[in-house]
Every structure is written in structure tokens, then in C-alpha cells.
Structure 1
Amino acid sequence: MDIAKSVFQVHGVAATGDVVIRQRLSRGKVLQFFPKMPACLVGLEACGAAHYWRRLGHDARLMPPSYVKPCVKRQKNDAADAEAICEAVTRPTMRFVEIKSDEQHSIMVLHRVRLTLMRQRIQLSNTIRGHMAECGLVAPVGRNGLAQLITIIGNCDDARVPDLARDCLAMLVSQLEMINEQILETDRRVRTSARATEVGRRLMEVPGVGPVLASAMVAAVPDPRSFKSSRNLAAWIGLVPRQNSSGDKERLGGITKQGDRYNCSWSAPLP
């Protein structure tokens, strides 16, 4: 099944390979369609909302979209994608994505929200610095320099900042303070989630691994035993060199970072 926001395409084949279903469904009819079907194997691409649609009452399996793409025959459309998914899910060498629990999904939501808040904090800080520079006020890099600018904004007796600009910048300062409080709250929740599991506590004993990385790994890897070795886990994250080898010539490039880049980007404890 090729999933989307509103329109879904179903492609089904029998054990002989004959096409028995080729149907387009609206979102509201998906949960009505599959309960009427006999128990079967359902293939899905691992993407947004894919874990929700695994609750179809069948043997649902998720596959990386990059592994499904080679099965697309010609032009890309919903019917061709559904056919490619149907073909890929039956391949004996296909690698499937492990199903995450609701708890693991909740932890990943926590990490994504924290990342969004941090980006917003950087955006607000740069905006305040840029507008203050227009007034000829430039502070050193870092939180101490930003604090100096915020102090100037809060000082109504400082004539270097026009009143209208001060009122507008005060709004940004208020948002920045609120986001800082929210980031501290998410940090506390990340620490709690990292210490709540035995795997998370063991990961934090590794030098350079803090609560953020430990919590993210516990949430992103449902079952570590699905990897045959630690090198396979490193390859899944993307911490392996890029290969362009042929014959007896091995050509290795830089680190690919083709896997879960969020997990490989965090390697230090929280401040």
C-alpha cells in the first residue's frame, strides 16, 4: 500500500504473482477495507504516519523508501509505487524497519520538539543581534553578549535604541525567555527518559555519550538484536565511509551520514 495524506493506493497479488487488487482508497475507507480482507502480508514504506497504518490487523512490514525505489518500473505515480512496494516486500533479502512502540514514539516527539525549540532560539538570537546592529550596538559572540543586548533593550533610558524598535525587540526577548524555559523542561524530560531504561543507563556510561544520545538511541532502535553486529548498527546510522569500489580497487570516501543523522549528530552530554 502506498500511503499519503488523503489518497491511498493498494496493489495486491496472489501467491502465483497474479494481480488481484489494484484499487484507490480515500483515507476514511482504508480502515474499512483491510478488516474485510483475509490475513495477508502488507508492505509499507517507512515514512511519516507509517507506524500508525501498521495497525491494519495484518502482517504489516515497513521498508526504507530507498530500498523500494529500484522496484519502480518506469514513471512515478501512486499505482507504480504501490506495485513496487508489493514487489519489494516479497523479496527474501529485503531489510525491514523495526516497529516502534508508543513509548518510543513519544520520546522521539520529545527530541524533535526540543530540536525545533533550539532552532527557534537561534533564530530569535540572530534576529535580536541583527536589529541591534542596525542601531550600532554589537555584542560579543555567546550568551553573555546576547545578555548585554537584552539589558540595553530593557533599559528605557538608553537613547541609542528608538522607542518603537525597543517595543518590537522586547517582544522577541519575551519569546526568547519563554523558549529558554521550554528547552530546560525538555532537557529535564530527556534526562528522565535516558535514566528510565537499563539500556539508556548503560549507554551513558560510555565516554562521550550523554542523556540526549542515550535517549535518542533507545527510542530509535526498538530491538538492538536486529543488528548482527555493532558495525551493522554503525552502518544504519551512517557512520561508515562512502564506497565507490569496483573489482580489486577499493575507493573509500568520507562518512556518508545516510542513516539517522539525528542520532549521529549528538555525542556530548547536556550542559
Structure 2
Amino acid sequence: RRALPEILSQQEQWDNHFIRLLCELAEELQALDERLKRYDRRLKQLAQEEARIRRLQEVSGIGPVTASALVAAVGDAGQFKNGREMAAWLGLVPRQHSSGGKSRLGHISKRGDSYLRTLLIHGARAVLNACGHKEDRRSQWLKSVAERRNRNVATVAMANKNARIAWAILSREEEYRVM
């Protein structure tokens, strides 16, 4: 895709049929980009009209795409007793191996909706990258987790926290309050 303009500028080196195909391909790519921009604008417009999506977007790391996907998949979150259940449903909690009274926590379970989990993790990664010099409680907590463990563990912990916050917002129909 990046090399296409350069190839088209060197038309004399290529066969006319090949150049025509590349021109058609470039036009199709441009049309797809325009369609994606239209869909993105429409999604943002719908996100502003729907109260649940608007409330979810107040949370750092949850944008219009993630919020609308959460509302579409979870609805009012009534099927979950608590936020931990929803986080577990999304596969954002560690697997637990227990034997002889000793409990070991492993990697995240990766069960449930992989698309939603991916969106939440990408949003959490953006929050982690942006928390550099911030002094609020959430940023301090996230930086301390990243220092104690590693960045990936901190990212998943933030995604888990966002899933629990999303459950509270959807199930209680409240506005997000920063603690």
C-alpha cells in the first residue's frame, strides 16, 4: 500500500495492463478508506446519542468503539452478579491452579469475547502509555503495578479494572465517578 504511489510514478517501467490494475487497486483502497471514515463518523455520532455509550466513554481507555461493543455484547450487564464475573467472562482474570490448599495464579484465561478483550487491552495500553507524569490515584496505581510486575501485567490489570468499572456503569445506570 505504501509502495503503490512510487510504483505508479514509474509507469514507463511496467506493462500498461499491470499499471491499470494497480490504478484500480489504488482507487479501491481510497474508496475503502472513505467508507471506513464514514463508518467511524457514524459510530461516533451514535455513541453521542446513546446514554450508556456516553457514560462508558468517561472511563480512561474506553472510546466509542469499545463502549459501543460493550453495550452491544453485554447490554445492561444484568447477567453478571458483579464486575469480577464480567471480567472473567471476558477472559481478563488469571487462571487459578489449586492443589493441597495452595493456590497458584497463572496467565489470563482468554475465555469469552476475544474482540472485546482486545479492545479493552488496547485501551488499557494507551492509558499506561499516557500515565507517565500524571499524579492521580489511578495513574499512580498503574505505574506501581508496572514497576512491581511488568507492563503487560499492568495492561491486563488496567483492562480488568475497566471491565469492572464498565459493569458498574451499565448495571447501576450511573455516571462514572473518578475515585
**TM-score, with normalisation over the residues of structure 1?**
0.41
- Alpha-carbon distance in 1 for matches of 2:47, 2:106: 34
Give how far 1:180 is off: 0.7
Question: Where do 4+ consecutive residues of structure 1 move more than 4 Å?
Answer: none
Contact 1:217 1:263 in 2 (8 A): yes
Match of 2:22 in 1: 169
Match of 1:240 in 2: 93
> Is 1:183 the equivalent of 2:36?
yes
> Is 1:220 the equivalent of 2:68?
no
Contact 2:8 2:22 in 1 (8 A): no
Structure 2 counterpart of 1:206, from 38, 51, 59: 59
Q: Which amino acid aligns with 2:38?
A: E
Q: Give the number of the structure whose residues are more often strand, by fraction.
A: 1
Give how far 1:153 is off: 4.0
Q: Is there any run of 5+ residues in structure 2 with no aligned partner, and where?
A: 127-179
Deviations 1:138-160 (CA, angstroms, capped at 9, x unpaired) = xxxxxxxx1xx3323443x6434
Q: Give the number of the structure whose residues are more often helix, by fraction.
A: 2
Match of 1:257 in 2: 110
Q: Which amino acid aligns with 2:4?
A: I
Q: Which amino acid aligns with 1:150?
A: L
Q: Percent identity?
A: 41
Give how far 1:201 is off: 0.9
The within-5 A match list for 1:78-93 is: none
- Alpha-carbon distance in 1 for matches of 2:78, 2:31: 41
Contact 1:240 1:255 in 2 (8 A): yes
- Alpha-carbon distance in 2 for matches of 1:246, 1:194: 47
- Alpha-carbon distance in 2 for matches of 1:201, 1:168: 44
- Alpha-carbon distance in 1 for matches of 2:117, 2:65: 11
Q: Is there any run of 5+ residues in structure 1 with no aligned partner, and where?
A: 1-124, 126-145
Give how far 1:190 is off: 1.7
Q: More displaced, 212-221 or 188-197? A: 188-197
Contact 2:11 2:19 in 1 (8 A): no
> Is 1:192 the equivalent of 2:48?
no
- Alpha-carbon distance in 1 for matches of 2:23, 2:7: 7
Change in 2 beyond 3 A, CA 1:179/1:250: same
Match of 1:266 in 2: 119
Q: Which amino acid aligns with 1:152?
A: E
Matched position secondary structure for 1:259: coil
Deviations 1:105-158 (CA, angstroms, capped at 9, x unpaired) = xxxxxxxxxxxxxxxxxxxx4xxxxxxxxxxxxxxxxxxxx1xx3323443x64
Give how far 1:206 is off: 0.6
Deviations 1:19-63 (CA, angstroms, capped at 9, x unpaired) = xxxxxxxxxxxxxxxxxxxxxxxxxxxxxxxxxxxxxxxxxxxxx
Give how far 1:233 is off: 0.9
Matched position secondary structure for 1:188: helix
Give how far 1:260 is off: 0.8
Number of matched residues?
A: 122
* Structure possessing the higher relative contact order (Cα contacts under 8 Å, 6 or more residues apart): 2
**TM-score, with normalisation over the residues of structure 2?**
0.60
- Alpha-carbon distance in 1 for matches of 2:64, 2:96: 32
